[in-house]
Amino acid sequence: MTFLAWSTIPFDRVLAYTYEADYHCRQCARQRFGDSLDVDAIDREGNAVWPVFPGQLDPQDVIGCSDCGRVICLHCGDTRSIESRSVGATCPNCDSEWTIDDND
């Protein structure tokens, strides 16, 4: 079996990262793990840090960064601050739309 060395994929193709049982934006993950994010980052729970790529999650879903609280666009990985949980939003980078509702 051949594995893709995901560390060779450009940073801007990764939408987010998962570690410590949650999602985190690219900026917060890079700040936390630095260069080890490109190789073999391990979180405080002893698990590997995994990237989230386009197409892995439903683009209509909404995920937020557990560190900074910003919403992560599942089309381009850009982040946006959301002040209210019932606000529709459009990504300022790629113009995709998503909605946060009270059931999320």
Average pLDDT of 2-27?
74
Domain boundaries, the chain: 13-99
Average pLDDT of 15-34?
93
Where is pLDDT greater, at 10 or 102?
Answer: 10
Residue pLDDT, tens place only, 54-80: 888 876 677 889 999 988 888 888 887
Distances (CA, A) of 5 to 2, 9, 14, 51, 93: 9, 8, 13, 11, 27
Does 5 score more than 60 pLDDT? no
Mean pLDDT, the chain, rounded, equals 76
Helices (H), 12-55: 26-33
Specify burial of residue 61 (Cβ count, 10 A radius: 0-12, 13-18, 19+): exposed
